[in-house]
Chains A and B, each alone.
Chain A
Amino acid sequence: MRDESFTERRTIRIVVNGVEAEREVGVRKLLADFIREDLSLTGTHLGCEHGVCGACTVILDGQSVRSCLMLAVQAEGCALETVEGLASDGKLSPLQEAFREEHALQCGFCTSGFLMTARELLKDEPNPDEQQVREVISGNLCRCTGYANIVSAIMRAAATRGVK
């Protein structure tokens, strides 16, 4: 039968793309569902719900995480970055622009996960070689592109020093 703790709710505070937010949330709610449903940031997608496909990748306190493998309450006090935070004033960031230039997306369902993974990579390693890029993004699945153009896009973004 149901464990009563399932129904417990807590208030969490979290900085979302630079803006403070406070929400009451069920303790068992996944961070991914919280982002999509409670914050209405539907650019983060769920592709497997077991941490393999990487579509739900977001950045929490500077590190990429799988938002399907965390509870929302675990993000209490953290700074959360999602795909919606990459552009400024609706203008594509250099990384996003590089994805467009290189035709690095087709259906686009996996794209935000790749963008967030690449963002972390380029912050830590501004000049990655192709093998590094391939290894870092090998934790994200794309079923449309065959990856080559995603690799090119990340290399292009690195070349233009576009970490965001």
Chain B
Amino acid sequence: MAAVQIPAGTGKLVGARVRRVEDARVLLGKSQFVDDVRLPGTVSIAFVRSPYAHARILKIDTTAARANPGVLAVLTYEDLPELSRALRLEWDPAMPSAPHKLVEWPVLAHEKVRFVGEAVAAIVAEDRYLAEDAAELVEVDYDPLEAVADMERAIEPGAPLVHQEWGDNILQAAGAEFGPVASAFEAADVVISERFSTGRHAALPLEPRGCLASYEAAADLLTMWSSTQIPHILRTNLAAILGAAENRVRVIAPDVGGGFGLKAHVFPEDIVTALAARITGRPVKWIEDRRENLIASMHAKHQIVTASLALDRDGMILGLRARCLSDIGAYTEFPFSSGLEAGVAAAAMPGPYKIPAYQFEAISIATNKATVGAYRGVGMPIAVFVMERLIDIAARRLAIDPAELRMRNMIRREDHPYTNVVGFQIESGSHREALAKALEMLGYEEFRARQTALRSRGRYIGVGIASYIETTAPSTAGWMMLGMRMGGYETATVRVDRAGKVTVLVGTHSHGQSHRTTFAQIAADELGVSLDDVRIEFGDTAKVPYGWGTGGSRSAVVGGGATMKASAVMREKILRIASRATEIPTDHLELRDGAVARKSGGEAVMSLAEVARLAYLPPGGNFAGEQPGLEVAETYEPPLMTHANSTHIVTVEVDTGTGQVRLDRYIVVEDCGTMINPMVVDGQIQGGVAQGIGSAMLEQIVYDGDGQILTGTLMDYLAPTATDVPRVEIAHLESPSPYTLGGIKGMGEGGAIAPPGAIANAVADALAPLGARVDVNEIPLTPERVAATIAKTRNSK
């Protein structure tokens, strides 16, 4: 197919604050989440989970469980077909990433358990009550082993091994050096060296994980409804692990109640549930409860970073060193790698700053805890937390205003396209402009004056800045640079039916991101129809083109881009048919108001339905030399990576008596290029910031020294509520990407990336008068931790 010219759309809908087409059915209570799907004869599956962090399994006695009423099957490792017994992640030597241990995650524990919550056995019973009754009757004899719950202990000699065959606890140790690092540090006037640690977080979608598997033996077809962000990737992996032909596996991701990265994985429970459907011949449903979600799904973002920043006396950054230790828990996320967490943190560390030399290590360490997987932003919030703290500490040491120090080092507009120190090409952006705008919105000078005045009255307010670049929508080669075997393209099929209405089928999945609205805006503009005349379909692998799902802030760029491209090709076909029928040249025609019309406001000459009539029932077998029908599929892949940018500024007041931090104003200036729907962009920012506030101030998965998890309920793991999250003041700058269709950049993860850095800086700024050194290098900033910091700061005088 020849290259497609994509003129700018008519601009009627793209860029407008269009109300969502998703909302009515949700508000009426008519959504269909996986647990709402009802198949006759469905039975339930429940899992028996390990109470030990590390133990040998001596014996599993399922006799009593099997005898309990309503039980159809009890499964342990030995009951599973050999091929389906483990999720197996092998290092691919073709990848540019560092060598990686072979990981085998038994879908039901084999010989050993390696974290509290690991699935040991599964019960299939007539309903969930009966399944859980029987689960309590499974008797497992464990021989507890010494567990390793601390990542730094895990890399010491003699530490217990999570996987004996590895020989150590290191999943992957990556590292690289760019530019003259040693000489940069020798030449520096100031070197800031700090140690940072982040909490262990949970993505916590409100709908927990779940699936429903149904096997039709007569057709040899397995259908799985799953609460997943990645229906096709799940299908491919289910087929491979179950030994099924991929064309005999269908995955349907219905309405999904939030994902945030957690649901971009294939889980052991998915495999066991599918096997249970095959074994029992009944549809089997697995809906995890919140305790399972908190202890046994996946955690995220648990790192200890030691980093050094070298600067000259004018505050110009000369070099950066970072060593990222990432606690990945017992196994690895699948089918990607938990090595991603440390790798992304290291790669994102330079942020929007011009850094001539950089050296990093990214070490992923196994411990006897739940596995770490993707959660909004992956390592980016950690990178920003570290870098932005280093800059604030440096600014204080050099007595340069922290905003000014950032300005001096930021990539300038005229530097674009700017190839940064790790080789990422930043195509466009507004780093300094976003910072300046955010400072202006705050009234930075006035804030400093008020701060001084309040300090004299014993009140401690502070301001924190965090700026970042969000790497979004990687191409296949871009994902590979990040160590992931993942496609960076999407295909959209656009259909115009016989009545002239439009259906778009895409491989991305929407679970809150509003694709039914935003993709319809794109298609409607390209095809000159109203929003109501477009319907977006996704989530069913039997219907939509193979796609790579939603994650990495990719959908608007790639799924939206594919929609735009296929719609444009469809528009050309419609115009050719109309031109032939009306004998008006195509370049005099456009699509407008559901019809083909003369350009520049001329009259309508054919309705889309009339064009469809000629296309579907062409006189003489074809018309205008066109294939019959109106269906177009186009694949779109953006360039290597796309970069959005933003500055967050937060103001806080710290109660030095209690350690309580109160957020006052939260300002975001962001730039994601062309906005399809600013209302949706604002919603993503506000929601992302709320999650970032949770990471920064409240949320923390806690384990004791033996690997026992202490935060198994939402009364222990504190997610932000309406009284914790202020209304974010948002402004937009638009630096369209010169490389993507429509100039779109991704932004879905962005809001969550900066809050830990911004809030930590604000707390440190508030406490600055108390002492020479304010150590705010650990999150979450709980009142206990802030109180301890206050005491330590006072002692540092």
Interface, chain A (partner B; CB < 8 A): 2, 6-7, 26, 28-29, 36, 40-50, 52-53, 55, 82-84, 86-87, 90, 92, 96, 99-101, 103, 105-112, 115, 133-135, 137-151
Contacts and interface: CB of A to CB of B under 8 A. Distances in A.
Interface string B679-696: 110110011111100000
B20 A109 contact: no
B216 interface: no
A47 B205 CA distance: 9
Contacts of A106: 258, 512-514, 683, 687
A108 B713 CA distance: 22
16 contacts: A43-B31, A47-B206, A48-B713, A83-B27, A90-B28, A103-B19, A103-B20, A106-B258, A106-B512, A108-B26, A109-B207, A110-B257, A138-B722, A146-B686, A146-B725, A147-B686
Interface string B723-741: 1011110000000000000
A146 B24 contact: no
Contact of B28 (A44, A96, A150, A151): A96
A147 B723 CA distance: 9
Given A50-B290, A50-B714, A142-B206, A101 B513 contact: no
A112 B29 contact: yes
Contacts of B726: 148
A41 B206 contact: no
B715 interface: yes
Given A111-B26, A148-B727, 5 more contacts: A52-B714, A100-B27, A109-B206, A138-B721, A142-B206
Contacts of B583: none
B691 A100 contact: no
Contact of B206 (A26, A28, A107, A148): A107
A43 to B, nearest CB: 2
Interface string B648-670: 00000000000000000000000
B452 to A, nearest CB: 29
A148 B719 CA distance: 15
A43 B683 contact: no
Nearest to B721: A138
A50 B713 contact: yes
A101 B680 CA distance: 12
A146 B684 CA distance: 9
Contacts of A96: 27-28
Q: Which of B29, B512, B721 has the largest count of A CB atoms less than 10 A from its CB? A: B29
Contacts of A134: 722-723
Contacts of B19: 100-101, 103
Contacts of B683: 103, 106, 144-145, 149
A30 B7 CA distance: 57
A138 B721 CA distance: 5
Nearest to A152: B727
A151 B24 contact: no
Given A53-B290, A103-B679, A108-B31, A144 B258 contact: yes
A90 B206 CA distance: 26
B258 A99 contact: no
B725 A147 contact: yes
B36 A105 contact: no
Interface string B257-283: 110100000000000000000000000
A86 B27 CA distance: 9
Contacts of A52: 713-715
A109 B289 contact: no
A28 B27 contact: no
Contacts of B68: 2
Interface string B491-520: 000000000000000000001111000000
Interface string B746-770: 0000010000000000000000000
Contact of A147 (B512, B513, B690, B751): B690
A43 B30 CA distance: 6
A138 B728 CA distance: 18
Contacts of A103: 19-20, 679-680, 682-683
B470 interface: no
A150 B683 CA distance: 11
A107 B20 contact: no
B714 A141 contact: yes
Contacts of B26: 105, 108, 111
Contacts of B291: 50
Given A53-B290, A141-B719, A107 B257 contact: yes
A142 to B, nearest CB: 7
B723 A135 contact: yes
Contacts of B689: 146
B257 A108 contact: yes
B727 A143 contact: no
A50 B713 CA distance: 8
Given A42-B36, A92-B28, A99-B27, A147 B722 contact: yes
A46 B112 CA distance: 33
Contacts of A90: 28
Nearest to B26: A108
- Nearest first, the 9 closest Cβ-Cβ pairs linking A and B are A43-B29, A109-B257, A146-B690, A106-B512, A107-B512, A108-B26, A146-B686, A83-B29, A52-B714
B616 interface: no
B258 A143 contact: yes
Contacts of B146: none
A6 B200 CA distance: 39
Contact of B687 (A36, A109, A140, A144): A144
Interface string B187-231: 000000000000000001111100000000000000000000000
